[in-house]
Amino acid sequence: MAHQKFVVFFLSAMALLLFSLTFQLLLLLRVDSSESSWTTGGDVKKFFESAKTPEVFDWMVRIRRKIHENPELGFEEFETSKLIRSELDLIGVKYRYPVAITGVIGYIGTGEPPFVALRADMDALPIQEAVEWEHKSKVPGKMHACGHDGHVTMLLGAAKLLQEHRHELQGTVVLIFQPAEEGLAGAKKMIEEGALKDVKAIFGIHLSNRIPFGKAATRAGPILAGAGRFEAVITGKGGHAAIPQHTIDPVVAAASIVLSLQQLVSREADPLDSKVVTVSKVHGGNAFNVIPDSVTIGGTLRAFTGLTQLQQRIKEVITKQADVLRCNASVNLAPNGREPYPPTVNDIDLYRQFKNVVRDLLGQEAVVEAAQVMGAEDFSFFAEAIPGHFFLLGMQDENKTYAMPHSPHYRINEDVLPYGAAIHASIAVQYLKEKGSASARGFHDEL
Residues that bind Zn ion (CB under 5 A): 146
Question: Alpha-carbon distance 397 to 401, whole Å?
Answer: 7
3 is in an annotated binding site: no
* Closer residue to Zn ion in complex, CB, 63/432: 63
148 is in an annotated binding site: yes
For residue 396, the minimal CB distance to Zn ion (Å) is 16
The values of phi and psi at residue 282, to 5°, are -140, 120
For residue 23, the minimal CB distance to Zn ion (Å) is 56
For residue 122, the minimal CB distance to Zn ion (Å) is 11
For residue 125, the minimal CB distance to Zn ion (Å) is 7
C-alpha dihedral, 6 to 8 to 9 to 10, nearest 10°: 80
Question: Alpha-carbon distance 265 to 141, whole Å?
Answer: 35
327 is in an annotated binding site: no
* Closer residue to Zn ion in complex, CB, 143/265: 143
Please report the DSSP string for 202-258 in residue order: EEEEEEEEEEETT-EEE-SEEEE-EEEEEEEEEE-B-EETT-GGGSB-HHHHHHHHH
* Closer residue to Zn ion in complex, CB, 115/341: 341
Which strand (E) or helix (H) includes residue 80?
A: helix 78-91
441: CB partners within 8 A, 6+ apart? none
Give which of 204, 153, 219 is closest to 381, Cα–Cα.
Answer: 204
* Closer residue to Zn ion in complex, CB, 44/120: 120
Q: For residues 301 and 228, is the Cβ–Cβ distance under 8 A?
A: yes
* Closer residue to Zn ion in complex, CB, 236/342: 342
CA angle 214, 217, 219 (to 5 degrees): 160
Q: For residues 34 and 28, is the Cβ–Cβ distance under 8 A?
A: no
206 is in an annotated binding site: yes
Question: Alpha-carbon distance 333 to 227, whole Å?
Answer: 11
For residue 119, the minimal CB distance to Zn ion (Å) is 12
* Closer residue to Zn ion in complex, CB, 67/254: 67
* Closer residue to Zn ion in complex, CB, 146/367: 146
For residue 292, the minimal CB distance to Zn ion (Å) is 34
406 is in an annotated binding site: yes
For residue 87, the minimal CB distance to Zn ion (Å) is 21
Which residues partner with 283 through β-bridges?
Answer: 296
Residue of closest CB approach to Zn ion: 146
User: What's at 293, amino acid-wise?
Assistant: D
Which residues participate in the annotated binding site? Answer: 146, 148, 182, 206, 406
Q: Which residues are documented as binding site for Mn(2+)?
A: 146, 148, 182, 206, 406
